[in-house]
Amino acid sequence: MIIDDVMTDKITLHGLGFVQVQLQGDQRLHVWHPELPRRSCLEHSAIHDHRFSFVSRVLVGEQINHRYEPVRHADGEFVLYLHEGKRQAGGGRPWTPDGRADMAHQGTDLIYAGGEYLTYAYDYHRTEPGGDGRVATIMRKDAEFPEGAHSTCRYGIQPDTDFDRYQWPAARLWEVVREVLLA
């Protein structure tokens, strides 16, 4: 299936706990702040992949990136959810169950301001802000593919499929961006 729409809103929340700002040249500004809303199941559903490769440069703060390798089997600890199709009212894509897997931890990287990290398309990872929880990164997309990305959620936990990317007005999101970038 080909992803048929693109997030075109200039600034929105992301369920993984950051503000996402669309920039030119296949770039995005991501800004974490401890007071931002997150998916209700975040502690069980933060591991995910992307349908594109990217390089992310940390501008402010410290970013922690955990890398995983899925080991698919019927009794896996995590359910894999495929994200394809049109965006829903809250800005997210459908969560379609796509098997189960254990997620084997492959390593953790701590990236300080000025550093960067590379993630290949369909490689699983989870990121979290270090330090005081205020982090800003510039992400640049590289190779992009048509098949949808996946999120994981621990088996037995209901994923937060209704997270609303628009629950805060743009003006409030821009205040968070300014606070983190000017700190």
* CA-to-CA dists, residue 9 to 14, 27, 158, angstroms: 12, 14, 27
pLDDT at 5 over 70: no
pLDDT band at 1 (very low <50, low <70, confident <90, very high): very low
pTM for the full predicted model = 0.92
Q: What is the pLDDT of residue 10?
A: 92
Please list, in sequence order, all residues whose beta carbon lies within 8 angstroms of the beta carbon of residue 153, skipping any fewer than 6 positions away: 41, 44, 45, 78, 79, 81, 159
Of the candidates 182, 174, 121, 183, the residue with the CA atom closest to the CA atom of residue 11: 174
d(CA 94, CA 98): 12
Dihedrals phi, psi of 73, to nearest 5 degrees: -165, 160
pLDDT in tens, 56-77: 999 999 999 999 999 999 999 9
Q: What is the pLDDT of residue 2?
A: 37
pLDDT in tens, 90-142: 778 889 999 999 999 999 999 999 999 999 999 999 999 999 999 999 999 99
Dihedrals phi, psi of 170, to nearest 5 degrees: -55, -40
pLDDT in tens, 32-41: 999 999 999 9
Dihedrals phi, psi of 75, to nearest 5 degrees: -110, 25
pLDDT, average across residues 38-57: 96
Which CATH architecture group holds 11-182?
Sandwich (2.60)
- Please say whether the beta carbons of 64 and 17 come within 8 A: no
Q: What is the pLDDT of residue 132?
A: 97
* CA-to-CA dists, residue 146 to 27, 50, 79, 166, angstroms: 18, 11, 22, 26
Q: What is the pLDDT of residue 8?
A: 57
pLDDT at 156 over 80: yes
pLDDT at 7 over 90: no
